[in-house]
């Protein structure tokens, strides 16, 4: 389906059984619940989906299960997070055949490319698929920067259409708009600067904490879009303690624990990650419980 490139796209979790095998049915349930709560699209197999902890065949199985349950109701974008261009191309081609509507393309993992190598990597994947592509910029996590020079070198690659901006420096939204106008659709990709991103030109939000509080996330963006800035700020300020979790090293464990507290999923994660323990686990649980007890009134879901 065509991607509208706006709204709330949660990076959905991959659910696991007690033996840490992939639970496709529960992953489908989690995704279906998010759609029923009004999200605009889903990101399958992003960081929160534990992409790099899965084998190739597991990735395809998870993606196929998500495509099946979504059933065309919203776009499905899948993360392409691989060690090298050859593996990225292989997965991108398979994802298109599996029914993904778009790709979220990351820099190569482990090796830190020079700018011209990064451009070659992105072009190498884009040339092998007809799917629209969102590039994922996250310098703190991946030690490389998709800067203006890289985007300038990609401006003629027609299916590279969007950028998920996860750098904490919100000035980049304005710099990109000044440099490229509307050539690239911008998405806020770091939860605790999401509203700032929207004000500075982002058209949507790729979110982690939406997995635990989807209705509030949808209402935040909807309030911004209709010009109800007081309402958007009310939700954002309520949400902020949890949104900070998205910028932490243990974001995957924290988000999956938040899902569990809210009765939406399980905290189980794949090694080398382990579930939170001790004071950190208690801290996150308390934050989620407080948010649940003080959530803004009259948050409505989109009709299922």
Phi, psi of 77 (to 5 degrees): -110, 135
Residues taking part in catalysis: 136, 164
Element (H, E) at 186: strand 185-188
Radius of gyration of the chain (CA): 18
Distance CA 250, CA 168 (A): 17
* CA-angle at 162, arms to 83 and 122, nearest 5°: 30
Please give the full DSSP string across 120-149, using - where no structure is assigned. HHHHHHHTT--S-EEEEE-HHHHS----HH
Cβ–Cβ under 8 Å, residues 225 and 174: no
Q: How far is the C-alpha of 234 from the C-alpha of 135, rounded, in Å?
A: 31
For residue 84, the number of C-alpha atoms closer than 13 Å in the C-beta half-sphere is 2
């Amino acid at each position: 389906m065509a991607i509208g490139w706006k709204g709330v796209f949660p990076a959905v979790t991959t659910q696991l059984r007690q033996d840490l095998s992939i639970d496709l049915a529960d992953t489908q349930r989690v995704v279906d619940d998010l759609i029923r709560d009004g999200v605009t699209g889903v990101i399958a197999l992003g960081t929160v989906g534990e992409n790099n902890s899965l084998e190739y065949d597991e990735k395809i199985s998870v993606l196929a299960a998500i495509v099946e349950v979504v059933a065309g109701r919203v776009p499905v974008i899948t993360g392409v997070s691989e060690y090298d261009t050859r593996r990225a191309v292989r997965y991108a081609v398979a994802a298109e055949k599996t029914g993904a509507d778009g790709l979220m393309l990351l820099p190569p993992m482990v090796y830190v490319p020079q700018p011209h190598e990064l451009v070659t990597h992105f072009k190498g994947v884009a040339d092998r698929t007809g799917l629209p592509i969102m590039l994922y910029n996250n310098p703190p996590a991946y030690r490389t920067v998709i800067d203006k020079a890289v985007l300038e070198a990609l401006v003629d690659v027609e299916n590279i259409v969007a950028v998920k901006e996860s750098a904490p420096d919100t000035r980049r939204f304005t710099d990109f708009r000044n440099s490229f106008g509307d050539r690239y659709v911008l998405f806020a990709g770091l939860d605790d600067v999401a509203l700032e991103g929207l004000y500075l030109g982002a058209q949507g939000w790729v979110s982690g904490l939406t997995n635990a509080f989807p209705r509030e996330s949808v209402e935040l963006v909807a309030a911004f879009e209709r010009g109800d800035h007081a309402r958007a700020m009310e939700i954002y300020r309520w949400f902020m303690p949890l949104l900070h979790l998205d910028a932490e090293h243990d974001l995957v464990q924290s988000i999956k624990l938040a899902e569990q507290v809210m009765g939406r999923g399980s905290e189980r994660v794949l090694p080398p990650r382990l579930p939170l323990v001790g004071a950190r686990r208690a801290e996150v649980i308390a934050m989620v419980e407080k948010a649940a007890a003080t959530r803004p009134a009259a948050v409505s879901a989109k009709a299922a």
